[in-house]
């Protein structure tokens, strides 16, 4: 075996993009994926029209992504790569997002004119005062302080702190500022208010509802990458159980608790906490204790296929209030018309949770009832409009970036660095808030590094 022979653990976007560049460099490689499909948490699932309640004419299938995805145009080289892969199937979408709070819809990102129209004068004055005259802290220690600094207490409490607590399952004072993943850049209301009221220059960066999206869902990107890679390089239903090491090298891996194979170079994309426990000989107990401290958030998706043309015009609708069990609703059809049969639509509700939360362990029927009741408060629907319901569980959806996560993650990642033939990449493996474009870039870099040695 040569050092350029790659064993890639995990067939999510991180594993697939590594395989994509390995193929481009004509390297030998195999991807081991535990599930029946490649694509990890970045797939598009299909509900056949014929499987829906047959009282309506069906003219196609419903498709939904494993959580509301869009392709971010952040790295020109990656965007070009994805454009080449998808051709005309990469659509430019214009769809705004909104926040639903106390019975009203607010534009997201927040817009001053929208707030003026919808909030009481007293509240507006409070927001203006907090944003224009309070002096922001020079150094913020956690997300709560960051949000208050950025927006003032009133706005932060209404729209951000409650939402973050629901999404991450932690009080915002326990969360690192890294949870913003730069998404709040350009959303600084303070600079916007200053520019409007005082005439000082405005922060030009402002997010809007314009983004790239594949015609048949985000999973098309993984599908095209798989097509390019070729089936023989992807071993589905091959769960990695153990990483056997000697002399600071991973020597063998164990698959499906059965087969042991020798390895040359290992690219590991599996969750960091699982990887620590797979080591044989075992990692030092203090390191396992560090692994116990870091958490991943899972996601339950509740999908209602509806016999109505549309539910809303939004890309995403956010729900910061506790009374709603979900944090976000998205309507796949508003990203691409081909995500639903003509005249019909689907809504997907996202419920973040930990594996020991009631939501993760609830029956499909109980979830359907709970979510349906909450949905009625957003927009009343008739029971007969629901032609199909489905629940989908997404493990390891988000690394939970608590205030001390960096120190813990660094300790684990540093430990793995001792294995000279092992590379970590991917969202759960590096415990970083990475997106698809980041993973393309990471895949390219790791392969170039190995190919050029
Ligand atoms: C709700 C949501 C919305 C998102 N929105 C966006 C977005 O708009 N734009 C964007 O770019 N990104 C978005 N992302 C992020 C994107 O989905 C992730 O960056 C991506 O899925 C991470 O890929 P990965 O390969 O690192 O991990 P994963 O996708 O988690 O893949 C890991 C793979 O490893 C496999 N595996 C696990 N254990 C084993 C084992 N023991 N042996 C073998 N295989 C194993 C799993 O089955 C899985 O296939 C979103 C994510 C979520 C959850």
The CATH number of the domain holding residue 30 is 3.50.50.60
Report the pLDDT value the prediction gives residue 258, as an integer from 0 to 100. 94
Asked if residue 394 has pLDDT above 50, the reply is: yes
| Residue 306 counted as domain residue | yes
Domain range spanning residue 181?
A: 110-207
CATH number for the domain that contains residue 303 = 3.90.660.20
Residues 353 and 411 in one domain: no
Q: Is 428 close to ligand 1, i.e. is its CB under 6 Å away?
A: yes
- Residue 11 banded pLDDT, cuts 50, 70, 90: very high
Residues 276 and 407 in one domain: yes
Report the pLDDT value the prediction gives residue 132, as an integer from 0 to 100. 86
pLDDT in tens, 137-171: 788 999 999 999 988 999 999 999 999 999 999 99
- Residue 112 banded pLDDT, cuts 50, 70, 90: confident
Q: 300 C-alpha vs ligand 1 centroid, how far in Å?
A: 14
Q: 195 C-alpha vs ligand 1 centroid, how far in Å?
A: 40
CA distance linking residue 219 with residue 222, whole number of Å: 5
Residues 290 and 303 in one domain: no
Residues 300 and 384 in one domain: yes
The residue whose CA is least distant from atom 6 of ligand 1 is: 69
Testing ligand 1's pocket by substitution, the residue of 20, 37, 69 carrying the most ligand atoms inside 8 A of its CB is 69
CA distances, 368 to each of 235, 349, 378 (Å) = 35, 10, 16
Number of folded domains in the chain? 3
Residues 290 and 301 in one domain: no
Q: Is 330 close to ligand 1, i.e. is its CB under 6 Å away?
A: no
Q: Is 430 close to ligand 1, i.e. is its CB under 6 Å away?
A: no
Report the pLDDT value the prediction gives residue 134, as an integer from 0 to 100. 79
Residues 275 and 409 in one domain: yes
Ligand 1: atom nearest CA of 68 is 3
Closest residue by Cα to residue 383 from 368, 396, 398, 394? 368
Residues 405 and 285 in one domain: yes
pLDDT in tens, 165-218: 999 999 999 999 998 875 555 456 666 565 555 555 444 443 567 899 999 999
Residues 412 and 286 in one domain: yes
Report the pLDDT value the prediction gives residue 182, as an integer from 0 to 100. 57
User: Do the beta carbons of residue 433 and residue 399 sit within 8 Å?
Assistant: yes
Which run of H or E residues covers position 405? helix 405-416
Testing ligand 1's pocket by substitution, the residue of 41, 273, 353 carrying the most ligand atoms inside 8 A of its CB is 41
Residues 347 and 435 in one domain: no
Report the pLDDT value the prediction gives residue 196, as an integer from 0 to 100. 55
| Residue 338 counted as domain residue | yes
Percent of the chain with pLDDT over 70: 92
- Residue 57 banded pLDDT, cuts 50, 70, 90: low
| Residue 222 counted as domain residue | no
Domain boundary among 187, 207, 227: 207
Span 345-357, average pLDDT: 97
For the ranges 111-125, 287-301, 367-381, 405-419, the lowest mean pLDDT is seen at 111-125
Residues 155 and 185 in one domain: yes
**pLDDT, averaged across the chain:** 92
Residues 49 and 123 in one domain: no
Q: 347 C-alpha vs ligand 1 centroid, how far in Å?
A: 21
| Residue 79 counted as domain residue | no
């Amino acid at each position: 075996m040569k050092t350029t022979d790659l064993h890639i653990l995990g067939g999510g976007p991180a594993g697939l993009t590594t395989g994509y560049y390995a193929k481009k460099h004509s390297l030998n490689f195999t991807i081991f994926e535990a599930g029946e499909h490649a694509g990890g948490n970045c797939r598009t699932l299909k509900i056949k029209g014929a499987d829906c309640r047959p009282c309506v004419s069906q003219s196609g299938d419903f498709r939904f992504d494993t959580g509301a995805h869009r392709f971010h145009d952040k790295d020109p080289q990656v965007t070009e790569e994805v454009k080449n892969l998808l051709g005309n199937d990469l659509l430019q979408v214009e769809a705004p997002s909104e926040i639903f709070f106390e019975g009203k819809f607010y534009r997201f990102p927040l817009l001053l004119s929208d707030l003026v129209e919808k909030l009481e004068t007293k509240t507006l004055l409070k927001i203006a005062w907090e944003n224009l005259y309070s002096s922001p802290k020079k150094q913020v220690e956690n997300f709560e302080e960051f949000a208050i600094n950025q927006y003032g207490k009133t706005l932060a409490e209404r729209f951000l702190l409650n939402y973050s607590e629901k999404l991450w399952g932690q009080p915002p004072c326990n969360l690192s500022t890294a949870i913003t993943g730069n998404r709040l850049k350009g959303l600084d209301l303070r600079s916007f208010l200053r520019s409007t009221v005082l005439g000082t220059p405005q922060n030009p960066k402002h997010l809007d509802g314009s983004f790239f999206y594949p015609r048949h869902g985000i999973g098309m990107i993984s599908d095209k990458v798989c097509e390019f890679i070729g089936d023989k390089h992807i071993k589905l239903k091959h769960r990695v159980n153990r990483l056997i090491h000697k002399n600071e090298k991973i020597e063998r891996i164990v698959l499906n608790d059965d087969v042991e194979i020798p390895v040359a170079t290992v690219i590991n994309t599996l969750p960091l906490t699982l990887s620590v426990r797979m080591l044989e000989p075992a990692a030092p107990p203090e390191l396992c204790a560090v692994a116990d401290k870091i958490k991943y958030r899972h996601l339950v998706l509740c999908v209602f296929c509806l016999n109505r043309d549309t539910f809303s015009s939004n890309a995403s609708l956010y729900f910061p209030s506790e009374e709603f069990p979900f944090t976000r609703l998205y309507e796949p059809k508003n990203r691409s018309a081909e995500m639903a049969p003509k005249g019909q639509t689907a809504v997907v509700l996202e419920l973040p949770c930990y594996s020991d939360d009631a939501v993760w362990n609830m029956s499909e029927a109980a979830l359907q009832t709970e979510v349906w009741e909450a949905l009625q408060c957003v927009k009343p629907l008739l029971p007969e409009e629901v032609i199909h319901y489905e629940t989908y569980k997404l493990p390891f959806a988000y690394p939970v970036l608590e205030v001390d996560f960096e120190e813990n993650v660094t300790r684990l990642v540093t430990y793995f660095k001792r294995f000279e033939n092992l590379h970590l990449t991917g969202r759960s493996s590096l415990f970083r808030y990475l997106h698809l474009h980041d993973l393309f870039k990471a895949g390219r870099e790791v392969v170039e590094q190995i190919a050029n040695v």
